[in-house]
Amino acid sequence: EEPRKEELARAITELRQELRLSVKYIIDVINANPGLPHISRSNYYYQTHKPDKDSGNQKLMDRIKEIFLEHSRRYGYRRIYGQLRREVYEINHKKVQRLMQKMGLFAISIR
């Protein structure tokens, strides 16, 4: 399985910092080797300058964490989603689940 483009971009950035080489040189060397995955320079810059998908959700993430801790880590994404819907938030359950996973919030199972 080939690595994703964002993983390649991260690896190229690390190589740049360690070896102090230009992006063009590193990408040319990678693309010249048939055993390595191909990435264009434009795709590299696209991946490195892509804004974080969840940067605008900080207020929502804070509220999710408040609800999670308020209920002693027993609320999962479904209950938190319901709580947010009862409040003023128009939100999808999948977004709540994704944000909770990103923050590392997992409910404690009582069983």
Least confident stretch, 24-38, 40-54, 90-104 = 40-54
Q: 63 and 34 in one domain?
A: no
Q: 66 and 31 in one domain?
A: no
Q: Which pLDDT does position 45 carry in this prediction? A: 94
Question: Is residue 18 included in any domain, yes or no?
Answer: yes
Residue 87 has pLDDT above 80, yes or no: yes
Question: Is residue 108 included in any domain, yes or no?
Answer: no
Domain termination site, one of 14, 31, 48: 48
- Percent of the chain at pLDDT > 90 equals 78
Q: 27 and 10 in one domain?
A: yes
Question: Is residue 96 included in any domain, yes or no?
Answer: yes
Q: What is the mean pLDDT of the chain?
A: 92
21-27: average pLDDT? 94
Domain count for the chain: 2
Q: What CA–CA distances, in Å, run from 47 to 38, 40, 73? A: 14, 11, 35
Cβ atoms of residues 48 and 9 within 8 Å: yes
Residue type for position 63 = R
Q: 88 and 71 in one domain?
A: yes
Domain range for 36 is: 5-48
Residue 29 has pLDDT above 80, yes or no: yes
Q: 63 and 43 in one domain?
A: no
- Give tens-digit pLDDT for 46-62: 999 888 777 778 999 99
